[in-house]
Amino acid sequence: MYCRADRTFEISLPPRHYDLAGDLLADAVERAATPGVSVDDALRTAAADTGRRIGAAARDEPGEDVVRPARGDALLSVLERNGYEPSVHGTDVVLRNCPFHALAERHRTLVCGMNWDLLSGVLDAIDDRGELTARLDPQPGACCVRIGPDRQCSG
């Protein structure tokens, strides 16, 4: 016999995380209800704050004495869990999947900006030396964001 579950189960290939996008957008709308706060500013803040929380949780998973290679593993792990399908190419991490693909197709500037702010927040929490940066670099068949060395820090 089958019965309705209390939990929702969804399967998507490739992975999509529209629930995360919905949470970020709802958070931004709530923040923008404050006088003087624009929706754009509210979304940037909501995405960066959420990214920092996601990154901090991933950074702290291995324990207190996290060595540098473990930080790189934490970054790849959080990207994988969130549907980005990361792949290391030289010094860059290419994100082969956009977890917000359908939204990005219809609202590219808004969603890619939100995605960039989210991933920048993740890096703020994981990369304590600021050696990596998220940058917008749209490529066919990939996420609009690419992660690599901060060109300003590397000379």
Crossing angle between the packed helical segments 39-60 and 18-32, to the nearest 10 degrees: 130
In a domain, residue 141? The reply is yes
Share of the chain above pLDDT 70, in %: 84
Q: For residue range 94-140, what is the model confidence (pLDDT) as tens digits?
A: 999 999 999 999 999 999 999 999 999 999 999 878 889 999 998 88
Give me the pLDDT at residue 97, please: 95
Higher pLDDT, 17 or 118: 118
Count of the separate structural domains present in the chain: 1
In a domain, residue 130? The reply is yes
The percent of the chain in helix, strand and coil, each rounded to the nearest 5, is: 50, 10, 40
What's the average model confidence in pLDDT over 32-39?
95
pTM to 2 decimals? 0.85
In a domain, residue 38? The reply is yes
- Rounded distance between C-alpha atoms, residue 115 and residue 112, angstroms: 5
In a domain, residue 7? The reply is no
In a domain, residue 9? The reply is no
- Domain enclosing residue 100, as ranges: 18-149
Instruction: Report residue 10 as tokens.
Output: 């969804």
CATH of the domain at 25: 3.30.1380
Share of the chain above pLDDT 90, in %: 67
Q: 46: pLDDT confidence band, cut at 50, 70 and 90?
A: very high
Strands 145-149, 92-95: pairing is antiparallel
Average pLDDT of the chain, as a whole number: 87
Residue 129 DSSP SS3: coil
Backbone CA torsion sign across 105, 111, 116, 118: negative
